[in-house]
Amino acid sequence: MIVERPKLTIWDRLYMPQILKGMWITLKHIPMKRFTRQYPEETPPLPKRYRGVPTLVRDPEQRVKCVACQLCEFVCPPRAITVIPGFRAETGPDAKVEKEPSDFIIDMARCIYCGLCEEACPEEAIFLKKDYAMASYTREQMKLHKEKLLELGGIHEDRICKWKKK
């Protein structure tokens, strides 16, 4: 079977009508609303269940909620979390009961923001903050240590209330 090529007119050979037709379709699809944001001043609306930067939190009495169980470290797919267990201060009422991480490191260059660390934490010590602007000049600055993570997380209301006397 032989397929005959259609004979092109001079307009078809110049490609100008097809280019103008394509440009017209493109112009029709441009929205009339403003689509440019002035970034630091205007932030985009985030979805309700947005998963951002993982942070550590304290309870209302300024105690670190993390007990260094290392579940978040084990469940992290890219191995971005490193927990170094330590002990709580000897003077506290919970000194002999639970541990506290001596260092808690999250490598944000490796983190994939999956939220598995938040789901695995039995103490509700890790939360994903609605922050999407994590930038630095070196890879070493992307490793957030315990102090920085606690600063980002702040104080979180304790639903578990494990230290309260009944």
Does residue 44 or residue 22 have the better pLDDT? 22
What CATH number does residue 64 fall under? 3.30.70.3270
Q: Is 7 exposed, middle or buried (0-12, 13-18, 19+ CB in 10 A)?
A: exposed
Residue 96 lies in a domain: yes
Residue 106 lies in a domain: yes
Residue 105 lies in a domain: yes
Of 155, 156, 65, 73, nearest to 117 (Cα)?
73
Residue 140 lies in a domain: yes
- pLDDT tens per residue across span 45-87: 888 889 999 999 998 888 888 999 999 999 999 999 999 999 8
Residue 24 lies in a domain: no
- What is residue 91's predicted lDDT score, i.e. its pLDDT? 78
Of 115, 139, 149, 133, nearest to 43 (Cα)?
133
> What Cα–Cα distance (Å) separates residue 59 from each residue in 36, 91, 98, 164?
40, 18, 15, 12
Q: Residue 166 pLDDT > 60, yes or no?
A: no
The parent domain of residue 60 ranges over 53-152
Residue 8 lies in a domain: no
- What is residue 88's predicted lDDT score, i.e. its pLDDT? 83
Residue 117 lies in a domain: yes
Q: Is the pTM of this model over 0.85?
A: no
Residue 162 lies in a domain: no
Q: Residue 165 pLDDT > 70, yes or no?
A: no
Q: How many domains does the chain have?
A: 1
